[in-house]
Chains A and B, each alone.
Chain A
């Protein structure tokens, strides 16, 4: 098992010359063409760019769901680009949380059971698991909705459940791929405020892919992708 150590000098995340090529030969498609990116502990990064510019590909690599074709990925100073499948799974389990555009909650499973899921894989005993899950749901404003199934919840509520599930293990980084993609503006803003709050109060680093400038505006830093490269990387002027 990989145990990335807390080195003060090393940034939380560092990509060096990361490329990703899908397919081989004629059909080869370069999704990432050399990405250098540093993300420090406590940052809130929004990744923007046109469709097909490589945002999701990059986030998947950052989330250790995928390995880069070449280049290096240091997580807390530890090279993780060539980890095995199980090693990457363990890294995700202990350090990362995921929020998806489509929520990806388990069907016919109550909110609390959904939120508990990561703790089951961590082997947390049932009673403790229940307490933590209850608290996590409360922290995303869903007190009293514990026993509701996803189909009984609105999109915004489902995404909150998904966020509760992502943060229940106290991850270092929250990876969110278009978390507000399926929501209306009001709901989207609530989710963004929730992410900001988690970033501010729990110090969780957030990396979020979004199409909407309004949502990106909540981030501390905005990275623009174009054709598999970083076009711009700016600190967000807006203060919160």
Chain B
């Protein structure tokens, strides 16, 4: 009986191909957007995770703030250079401690200007981020100590301010101040989050604090742990050290974070996941709208086919057989729309992956969910029209014009 019902439904859909297609268009679009968003979202998430993992599992990031969430940082005092020095001194497993302070501002050369990220740090930052010099040199000790007006720039800044010219020994302006370019970095391209790693102006930390920020704060301490040492232990030790340096009473919560790469990943991918979820919800609404479209067309179809229903009933179709026929029709419609949408969504993801530079990750779970959901849309929105058909009085229906 089920196959027969399916057969009847398929015949009916075949009889009305164009209308069937328009009917399911809503579902197709809804499912396609869900699939595209989730697939690309997964890709982006995974990409962030991989690139953070490639930073090495031995990296710790110490930032002020109560928890990871935004807004909490206000109540927490910033770190100072001395905090970094304390870590380097007290934590035996720390190979490198790099204080970082940064701000985005415009870099100017004559008429050319470019908004970029100005970062104050030490030469160690290059090692930590595995950046290398293309030409020129890094900061000398005396420059670092004195806070000299020198900088090292990335390729993007160079392209914008100097074109193809050699920038070394030229001067650029940051705000009202003039800096001498002493080095040019090798190009690193975009990172996983689409951030241009070459869009950078690097200053000695002291220079940044004196001339740019005007305070002694550093926004972050990056700590590289020696190969073979336990990151967990270093994390614990740094935490205790910072608690004592910040004079936190035992009852007080931390007002800073010591995150390892796993936690950083979680924090960054958390945003992507939330965004994916949000977009997914928007797409789900369009699925719902698609469902209403199906209900609408099924109601029209039932009215149009009243005589047909009358004939079927006269021939001896049971109420539930007519119900099933229309229900199966709605489900076949909606789930084929779903199937079509899945293919379209996967296709769109494949097409967009190069443009958005995220990997394509096929997620069978979301495909299954999308399919089941679209079929369910057919059941829910097909039920009422189907019931209407099944309850028709055969005599009335046969007489219907």
Contacts and interface: CB of A to CB of B under 8 A. Distances in A.
Contact of A86 (B311, B315, B318, B398): B318
Which among B7, B316, B318, B321 has the highest number of chain A CB atoms within 10 Å?
Answer: B316
Interface string B294-318: 0000000000000110111111111
Contact of A109 (B1, B7, B15, B318): B15
A203 B307 CA distance: 30
A113 interface: yes
B9 to A, nearest CB: 12
Given A65-B314, A109-B15, A121 B321 contact: yes
A89 B318 contact: yes
B398 A93 contact: no
A92 B319 contact: no
Interface string A195-217: 00000000000000000000000
A176 to B, nearest CB: 12
Interface in A85-131: 85-86, 89-94, 96, 98, 100, 102, 104-109, 113, 117-118, 120-121, 123
A236 interface: no
A117 B318 contact: no
A90 to B, nearest CB: 7
Interface string A40-78: 000000000000000000001001011000000000000
B314 A63 contact: yes
A120 B318 contact: no
B11 A113 contact: yes
A121 B317 contact: yes
Contact of B319 (A85, A91, A94, A106): A85
B8 interface: yes
A93 B319 contact: no
Interface residues of B, number: 22
Interface string A153-179: 000000000000100000000000000
B318 A90 contact: yes
Contacts of B321: 121
Contacts of B318: 86, 89-90
A233 to B, nearest CB: 25
B313 A89 contact: yes
A113 B312 CA distance: 13
B354 interface: no
Contacts of A60: 395
Given A93-B315, A165-B315, 20 more contacts: A63-B314, A65-B313, A65-B314, A65-B398, A86-B319, A89-B313, A89-B319, A92-B314, A92-B316, A93-B316, A100-B311, A102-B307, A104-B310, A104-B311, A113-B11, A117-B311, A118-B315, A121-B4, A121-B312, A121-B317
8 contacts: A89-B318, A90-B316, A100-B311, A102-B307, A105-B311, A117-B315, A121-B316, A121-B317
